[in-house]
Amino acid sequence: MKKIVLAIAAVTAVAAFAPEASALPVFARQTGMACSACHFQHFPLLNGFGRAFKSAGFTMMGAQGKIEGEHLDIPNVLNLGVFTTVAYQTQSSSAGQANAAPKWLVPSTGGEFSIFVGGRISEFAGFLAELGMGGGGPNAVTGTAAAPGGALAPATGYTTPGGGVASSAKLAMLFPVGDARVGMVAYSDVGQGAAYSYEILNTGAVGTHKMMGNTGPSNQHVNAAYAAQYLGTKGDASGVSFVANNTMGFVNIGRYESAGNNMVGGANSLPLTYARAAATFDLAGFDSAVGIQSFSGSSMVTGSNTKATIIDGQMQGEIAGFATGIYVGYGRAPAAVAVNAAGANILSFNQSANGIATTTLNVAAEMALIPHGTVQLAFRTATRDANDAVTAASLVQAGVVAGNSAKDNAVLVGATYELAQNMGLSLHYTTQSGSYWTNQVNPLGKTATTLLLETAF
């Protein structure tokens, strides 16, 4: 642990001498503003202006020219952007375990290489699409699904490709009604869940708004920081949401299916329900918010019931002159009832076969102690089934009783530095503890470290 802390300090110290610069990705080109206009501390966390831009359906214009005519009002160029990552990551393991070796992740091979296109369609409509190129990520396999803790559980009936194009896209039609925006968002995504439809908080309710760019070799980093991420609500989703928002908060209620464009079968119906409400307000000078998420329904694609509730909140402001963000989430997922003929419990937010609910409390904080650099700390205290489908094969036989609950705790430390407004360097270390881990003979991924470079242009 001491070595990791010293390594983070070294990265921060070296980065302090890096040059300051700025660049303009997709929406920065449309608005004519620097990336920092919309982001708090660093990409992709949103500040108040960034929330307002998203709440208007990506329609705000700035210096960019427009083509106008009767019922026509669009940018005079199509806005494109590229996002890439390079990373080196490791996780603890025993000899001979799969996924145990340290890995280099480069653009389109383990690392991300995505093309973004989006912007204003009219004064009330906007669009955003992401085309993820290549593959080789941790879940680029057939017939498996990410479970809490980043492990894998049995699944059937769909395929997640390890190559080619996996895309996410949304069409937002949000009409001005007084000082509010009201309308619908139609969307499909890979690995972001129903919250991808519309979300403006940085509490991990959707995976695109988080403190770290890389989730960890087995999702250890995001699972330590955010309740929704730990419960695994970020599976593939396609659906339609009704959205209403103003400066006091928003409501997002929609129907969806656990299917993206990379799933066999697609979304022939929308049997699942997603409900989200959040209030935004000022609290003692902090830009604050409190919200709740609810997931329910039975998927026709995965053959599983889904149910989870998450309560979250955030505060963004300054402490002793340093920009600080604090993010809290509490989540609960009862044991889901399998509904497919094989009896598999898949993509259900809770892999317990013994009726034990998964609960988690996550607290994360980030402070900008130097210009363009931050330090991060997060912890999780969670309870889950001690003998679920994920760990059954690697449990110590003595003292582990089917149906008992286990503690699954985690601590994350990290640091980030902006080499430029569109280039970020980060280092994260997560360690997990509790009876869920000590009862396993050969636990894989109990600790994880990631060094990451992100670039957007």
Question: Which residues have C-beta within 8 Å of that of residue 227, sequence separation ≥ 6?
Answer: 204, 310, 312, 329, 330, 331, 360, 361, 362
Q: Of the given ranges (244-248, 271-275, 293-297, 417-421), which has the lowest mean pLDDT? A: 417-421
Among 339, 154, 167, CA closest to 263: 167
Question: How confident is the model over 298-322, as pLDDT tens digits?
Answer: 888 777 778 999 999 999 999 999 9
Mean pLDDT over 329-334 rounds to 95
CATH number of 2-456: 2.40.160.10
DSSP codes joined into one string, 171-221: EEEEEEETTEEEEEEEEEESSS-GGGGS---SSSSSTTS-S-SS--TTSHH
Among 209, 247, 183, CA closest to 49: 247
Instruction: Copy the structure tokens of residue 265.
Output: 């079968």
End-to-end Cα separation, the chain, in angstroms = 35
- pLDDT computed for residue 397 by the predictor: 42
Q: How many CB atoms lie within 10 A of CB 351?
A: 27
pLDDT at 178 over 70: yes
Among 325, 354, 360, CA closest to 228: 360
- pLDDT computed for residue 180 by the predictor: 96
- Helix, strand, or coil (residue 7): helix
% the chain with pLDDT above 70: 78
DSSP codes joined into one string, 441-457: SS-S-SEEEEEEEEEE-
DSSP state of 36: G
DSSP codes joined into one string, 59-114: ----SS-EEEETTEEEESS--EEEEEEEEEEEE---TT-TT-S-EEEEETBEE-EE
Higher pLDDT residue, 17 or 218? 218
Q: Of the given ranges (100-109, 351-360, 382-391), which has the lowest mean pLDDT? A: 382-391
Structure confidence at residue 144 as a pLDDT band (50, 70, 90): very low
DSSP codes joined into one string, 38-73: TBSSSTT-B-HHHHHHHHTTS----SS-EEEETTEE
Mean pLDDT over 254-270 rounds to 77
- Helix, strand, or coil (residue 296): strand
Measured in whole angstroms, the distance separating CA 287 from the mean position of its chain's CA atoms is: 21
- pLDDT computed for residue 386 by the predictor: 78
pLDDT at 379 over 90: yes
pLDDT at 346 over 50: no
Mean pLDDT over 140-164 rounds to 34
Mean pLDDT over 426-452 rounds to 92
Measured in whole angstroms, the distance separating CA 155 from the mean position of its chain's CA atoms is: 22
Mean pLDDT over 413-420 rounds to 94
DSSP state of 338: B
- pLDDT computed for residue 94 by the predictor: 75
- pLDDT computed for residue 402 by the predictor: 55
Measured in whole angstroms, the distance separating CA 25 from the mean position of its chain's CA atoms is: 20
Find tokens 């501390």 and name the residue.
41
Q: How many CB atoms lie within 10 A of CB 42?
A: 22
